[in-house]
Chain A
Amino acid sequence: MFMNIVITILSGIALLVVAFIFTVTLEGIARKIEARIQRRYGPPFWQNFIDIFKSLTKYSISHGFIFDFGILMALGGTIATVFFIPAGSLAVFPGIDNVFVVIYLLAIGLLGMAMSAVGSGNPNASIGIGRALAQMLGYELPFMIVILGVFFHHGTSSLSDLVSIQIAQGAYNVWLMPIGGVVAFVSLIGMLGKKPFDTFIAPAEIASGPLVEYSGKYLGMLMIQHAFATFIEIGLFVNLFLGGGRTLWEFLLKFLIVYFSIVIISATIPRFRVEQAIKFYWKWPLILSFVQVIIVVFVMGRR
């Protein structure tokens, strides 16, 4: 019993450290890739570490209690969610890492961020949050419908169980349900807020939206939060559709491939308007997700 708790705590710490270092490194490399696509030289790949640690040591301004509390809620909720993402062999809570828990626990972070941003009193932030919430209704729906099919087929909604089932049967869900895999990938782009679905950040229109009032340690904490949120969202996709990994390295490799393909796509596409984004998600991804889940329920049946 005692050993179990110690192992859980140690693997939790390991997962946090891996998630942080790996995602922030990838974000740095992504900046480089994006720069090369746009024929710039780009910053060094460790630039994001510099950004985070530097901003944590700088002076900052605060707009009151809710501005601070929302940030704590955002980072706290996101860190809590990371523990429920199994990374290959590094799984903190195998068996009870339910996908619904992950999705809704991640929402605490989102709500905290929204509260803090609107609490700053800047209308740019409020507009950004309004757009982010509206767009969420766009991308989450097809995603949820598709994963309903995944759960129905495999009879479980536990991430680590889904991973072990996929490894055992030797076929990843993306082969079993190719349409669903594509839909989930498109939803993932929206989840990460990458172009063409980055209306809520939109630096040129609304001055980075929710981020407009943050400085110093607040900005640093939000960068950390963003890194963890990226880890959770892509980790969710990798575990659900690409079979997670037998080892940590396999998981990280798949993660890297998914992340860079999204970066490359988003570096080449311009931005949608927010209602265009919602309309887009409610048209093809939603129809295709229904097609996929109907195939799963009525043709493929249970495993």
Chain B
Amino acid sequence: MSILFVLAASLFAAPLFFLVSKLKKSVAYMAYAAFQVLVFLYVFFWGGTGSSYEVVGITSKLNFNFSMTSVNWFFASIVMLIISTTAVFMFPLKKSPVKVFLLSLVTAGALGAVFSADFLTLMIFWEISTWSSLLLIIQDKEKSTGEAIKYAAIAAVGSYSMLFAIFYMDSRLGTVEFSSVALKIESQPIGVQLTIFIALAIMVLAKMGSFPLHTWLRGSHSSAPDEFSPILSGGLTKLGGFLLFIMSIALPSFKGFGNLPILNGIPIVNYGFALLGGISIVVGTVMAIRMEDAKELIAFSTVSNSGYIVLALSIGGTYATAGGMMHILNHALASAAMFMAIAAVAYRTRTTKMHEMGGLIVKMPVTFAVYLVAIISVAGIPPTSGFVSKWLIYQQLVENGLPFLAFAAFFGSIGSFMYVFKPLAGIFLGQLKPEHEKVREAPLIMLAPMTLLTLLTIFWGVFPSNAIRSINRITESIGGGTVDVTFSRIVALTGEWDSVLVTTVFAIGFAISLLIFIRAKRARKVDLLDNYTGGDFLYTAELYHFSYRMYRPFDRLFEKWPSMENWLSSTSEKIKELGALLKAVFFNRNPQVYIALTVIVILGAFWWLR
């Protein structure tokens, strides 16, 4: 067995699942889930053992190069973990032959992309997955076509920019392979390096949904089928992280841009790129706080967390690189878990608007627990894996003395309390709405993958050394520094902490408070309408749950801020008006005119290219 076999199998499986699904949908979905789980297990257990390199020749000059190194293994495991858990999770949801076909293609594309060893292969497989995800987004909901077009437009910006970079690399260096690009690029003039870096950086920003190319995430997530959002946010945006990491190996920007001005030990190009990440954190956080739809809110939290990854990987250095990689891992886990929890709620209640729900904790306690752990991780609170990555990134920010980037990082971290708490309060706490009296817990097959992600989040929070050792192996293989870890301690330049100790101490604190709680008199249980009301009587539960515009005073601060979405949509209106004007002036009803024009253009082109 090899990479090629897995890839070919997953490509050919797609039409097969489609045909099976025409006959019996549940069989196709079961086969799909089983296949993804098998691929994940295979990648995870086989990939750790060694490295390999495989080439598929298409023509004499064009090859597909695949490799299996620790980097590929890390990203492939994360992406496949998210896809395989989601594949199990989606079983009770609405099934259709087209969806299972597209989902398999998305998987095959993502898998090919993370195993690629050259930029062209990466791009081709990445595009397979992007185009399938475009079609997937418009499957379920009506308003989604416009949102998918937005996604297509922004994805195109990234793709053309990367295509340009690939052609440019090929013409300048004669190769697009990661390893040989890394060897040859150092002798190139600074302008060439800069062009390639910026062109690839645009692709990263577009695909990760990072500022200024973040506008597609909100619409795509809110209109995508519920089972696809975890894959999109947890899996596919992490491909941007893969390219970013490859860029830091293949284009050794620290050496290359060393002649340019350096700020606090960081070349100005990387600093600028990190600043974009920082802006992305702030914009994502502020927008997430203002959303009223749970899926839109998590989409903006993805913007913010992509910003963290961009920031960390572009400032480089031992701790930020390790922190960025760790953040890719834990954001994949947490955002997938959050989207799954929301999908489970939407499966039972048919809505994702937070203010239309409330008090679901009594009906869906396991979903609540999953969501709670996921948000603790997003907010970066120990003992979950979210704290580990933030701690490592902060170490680098302190080490280099970067107050402005640190401002963004702190803003995102503290602001995340606000936005992650909003769905928790709106959906799960407060009074139950009367129409949700009969809601039940999500089915077991949905709960199992969610619980797995939750346990992994806690596992890597208590034993981060396990994940950091894998990351150390990656950074060692590319000649970077490693983070000192023992079983429970992580040591950085400006201090150390002990994850097991923190967890133990928290358990002790919890035990002490439990002791006080039990020793005191038992409380009388009252319902949620038995409240202090200043003397009024309460009859309507649905009116008493305060969650709509929970942060109104905070919103008011940002009301006058320029909105990129408004700006973009008014620009598109202007373009439409221009088109209407041109149509009014130049439109001709005679088909002959168009044929004549076409012929003239073809003749002209022929003459020019002759």
Do A and B actually bind?
A: yes
**Which B residues are in CB contact (< 8 Å) with A224?**
516
Decide if A95 touches B551 in the complex (CB within 8 Å).
no
For B409, the closest partner residue in chain A by CB is: A144
A140 on interface, CB distance cutoff 8 Å: yes
A101 on interface, CB distance cutoff 8 Å: yes
Decide if A137 touches B509 in the complex (CB within 8 Å).
no
A193 on interface, CB distance cutoff 8 Å: no
Decide if B524 touches A62 in the complex (CB within 8 Å).
yes
Minimum Cβ distance to chain A for residue B345 (Å) = 16
In the complex, which of the residues A75, A108, A158, A216 contacts B495, with contact meaning CB atoms closer than 8 Å?
A158
8 Å CB contacts to B: which residues of A186-234?
Answer: 207, 212-213, 216-218, 220-221, 224
A57 on interface, CB distance cutoff 8 Å: yes
B547 on interface, CB distance cutoff 8 Å: yes
Decide if B401 touches A297 in the complex (CB within 8 Å).
yes
Minimum Cβ distance to chain A for residue B384 (Å) = 10
For A297, the closest partner residue in chain B by CB is: B401
For A74, the closest partner residue in chain B by CB is: B513
Scan B421-452; emit 1 where CB is below 8 A from any A CB, else 0.
Answer: 10011000111000000000000000000000
Decide if A121 touches B521 in the complex (CB within 8 Å).
no
Decide if A217 touches B525 in the complex (CB within 8 Å).
no
**Which B residues are in CB contact (< 8 Å) with A118?**
424-425, 429-430
**Which B residues are in CB contact (< 8 Å) with A207?**
532, 534
- The secondary structure that dominates the A interface is helix
Which size bracket describes the interface of B in this complex?
Answer: 35 or more
Which stretch in A40-48, A127-135, A170-178, A253-261 binds the other chain? Answer: A127-135
Chain A residue total in the interface (Cβ 8 A) = 88
How many angstroms between the C-alpha atoms of A224 and B515 in the bound complex?
A: 14
Decide if A104 touches B380 in the complex (CB within 8 Å).
yes
How many angstroms between the C-alpha atoms of A130 and B555 in the bound complex?
A: 11
What would 19 A/B residue contacts be, using CB atoms closer than 8 Å?
A62-B526, A64-B361, A64-B528, A75-B509, A98-B497, A100-B391, A107-B379, A108-B382, A111-B379, A118-B424, A121-B430, A126-B547, A126-B550, A133-B417, A134-B553, A157-B495, A218-B523, A275-B553, A293-B401
Scan B506-529; emit 1 where CB is below 8 A from any A CB, else 0.
Answer: 101111111011001101111111
How many angstroms between the C-alpha atoms of A96 and B395 in the bound complex?
A: 14
**Which B residues are in CB contact (< 8 Å) with A2?**
none
For B430, the closest partner residue in chain A by CB is: A121
8 Å CB contacts to A: which residues of B482-512?
Answer: 489, 493-498, 501-502, 505-506, 508-512
A19 on interface, CB distance cutoff 8 Å: no
Decide if B517 touches A72 in the complex (CB within 8 Å).
yes
Residues of B within 8 A of A (CB): 264, 359, 361-362, 365, 372, 376, 379-382, 387, 390-391, 394-395, 397-399, 401, 403-404, 406-407, 410-411, 414-415, 417-418, 421, 424-425, 429-431, 489, 493-498, 501-502, 505-506, 508-514, 516-517, 520-521, 523-532, 534, 544-547, 550-554, 556-557
Q: Which 8 pairs between the two chains have the least Cβ-Cβ distance? A: A76-B510, A121-B528, A80-B509, A79-B509, A75-B513, A217-B520, A123-B546, A62-B523
Decide if A144 touches B520 in the complex (CB within 8 Å).
no
How many angstroms between the C-alpha atoms of A118 and B424 in the bound complex?
A: 9
**Which A residues are in CB contact (< 8 Å) with B399?**
152
Residues of A within 8 A of B (CB): 56-66, 68, 71-81, 83-84, 93, 95-96, 98-101, 104-105, 107-108, 110-111, 114-115, 118-124, 126-127, 129-131, 133-134, 136-137, 140-141, 144-145, 148-149, 151-152, 155-158, 161, 207, 212-213, 216-218, 220-221, 224, 273-275, 278-279, 290, 293-294, 296-297
How many angstroms between the C-alpha atoms of A217 and B518 in the bound complex?
A: 10
Decide if B528 touches A145 in the complex (CB within 8 Å).
no
How many angstroms between the C-alpha atoms of A57 and B359 in the bound complex?
A: 30
Decide if B553 touches A274 in the complex (CB within 8 Å).
yes
Decide if B544 touches A123 in the complex (CB within 8 Å).
yes
Decide if A155 touches B493 in the complex (CB within 8 Å).
yes
Decide if B513 touches A111 in the complex (CB within 8 Å).
no
Decide if B544 touches A121 in the complex (CB within 8 Å).
yes
Decide if A133 touches B418 in the complex (CB within 8 Å).
yes
Decide if B401 touches A152 in the complex (CB within 8 Å).
yes
For A155, the closest partner residue in chain B by CB is: B494
Decide if A156 touches B495 in the complex (CB within 8 Å).
yes
**Which A residues are in CB contact (< 8 Å) with B508?**
79-80
| Residues A63 and B526 in contact in the complex (CB < 8 Å), given A275-B553, A297-B403 | yes
**Which A residues are in CB contact (< 8 Å) with B406?**
144-145, 148
**Which A residues are in CB contact (< 8 Å) with B390?**
100, 104
| Residues A121 and B421 in contact in the complex (CB < 8 Å), given A63-B526, A126-B547 | no
How many angstroms between the C-alpha atoms of A79 and B517 in the bound complex?
A: 14
**Which A residues are in CB contact (< 8 Å) with B506?**
76-77, 80, 105, 108
Decide if A75 touches B505 in the complex (CB within 8 Å).
no
